[in-house]
Amino acid sequence: MTSVDTSLTVREERSGNPTVRQIGMADLMDAIAKGFADFNAMPTHFFFLAIIYPIVMFAIAGIYGDLDLLPFIFPLLAGYTLLGPLAAIGMYELSRRREFGRYTSRTNAFLVFKSRSINAIVNLGVVLMVIYFAWLFAAEMIYEQNFGSAAPESYAGFINQVFTTPEGMSMIITGSSVGFVFAVVVLSFSVVSFPMLMDMDVGVFTALKTSVKAVIANPVIMAVWGVIVAVSLLLGSLPAFVGLCVVLPVIGHATWHLYRKIVAS
């Protein structure tokens, strides 16, 4: 009887500077289509429910409980997208195994913890966490610059303050601009780096450098990809965040296929 394969496929022994390709819109659409196909073959929405809803519950607690947290609900939830590439690491593994015809079930996503690249993946995850907390700190500074350090008096009062006062408009414009910068940095750092660490025996610096090179080589495609990700996350958040349980894994799978098109193997 043939034993079920539960090991990771051998990663390419490669160092130096992997070749970065220029791709077109058809390649991007194909990567997204393959992302949907992977999700249909290996649905993982229940895993993402376990990740998303503790954060949502914290947000609800902030709205209806401690008003000191109210100004930071949006930065907390918006900043969660900065950690998306790390949260989707299991999806890269599933797509990788499916692409190479390996035995694949949803639980194989956890095999990433057995990867010999796990230390590099953790280190890159720490980089994203630092960026995430830097975003929260920046959001706090922006809020206090416009409204001071006092907590909002009520939920309705806070909404009125944000959308009907010059200070609120200033906070929205500044916060959106600063958030855009953070998003661009994370996209540049992570668009191919995490999948690359799953696929090749390279270090964090090589993965980061290759990811930045991929963005520089494909600025229009990466801009379109960034918009697609942002809009998808927004739409997925609208029905009580339920849609994120589909959006996040599909984006993760599509990211793997985008990586495979951009980085030559």
Q: How confident is the model at residue 254 (pLDDT cuts 50, 70, 90)?
A: very high
C-alpha to C-alpha distance for 115 and 187, rounded to whole angstroms: 23
Q: Mind listing the pLDDT tens digit for each residue in 8-23? A: 444 444 445 788 999 9
Asked if residue 215 is part of any domain, the answer here is yes
Please state the rounded mean pLDDT for residues 80-106: 78
pLDDT digits (tens, 9 = 90+) for 212-245: 999 999 999 999 999 998 888 888 777 666 777 7
* 173 located within any domain: yes
146-193 pLDDT per residue, tens: 888 777 777 778 888 888 899 989 999 999 899 899 989 999 999 999
Query: Which token pair is 246?
Result: 């589909």
Is residue 1 predicted with pLDDT exceeding 70? no
For residue 10, being part of any structural domain is answered with no
d(CA 233, CA 248): 8
Q: To 10 degrees, the CA torsion angle through 191, 197, 203, 204? A: 40
Is residue 11, in this structure, part of any structural domain at all?
no
1 lies in some domain: no
Q: How far, in Å, CA of 249 to CA of 255, rounded?
A: 10
Domain that holds residue 149: 25-262
Is 213 a member of any domain?
yes
Using DSSP's 3-state secondary structure scheme, residue 263 falls into strand
Any residues with CB less than 8 A from the CB of 40 and at least 6 apart, and which? none
Segment 38-79, tens digit of pLDDT: 998 888 665 655 555 555 555 555 555 555 667 777 777 677
Q: Please tell me the total count of domains within the chain.
A: 1
**Could you give the percent of the chain with pLDDT greater than 90?**
33
Q: Is residue 3 assigned to a domain?
A: no
pLDDT, position 16: 54
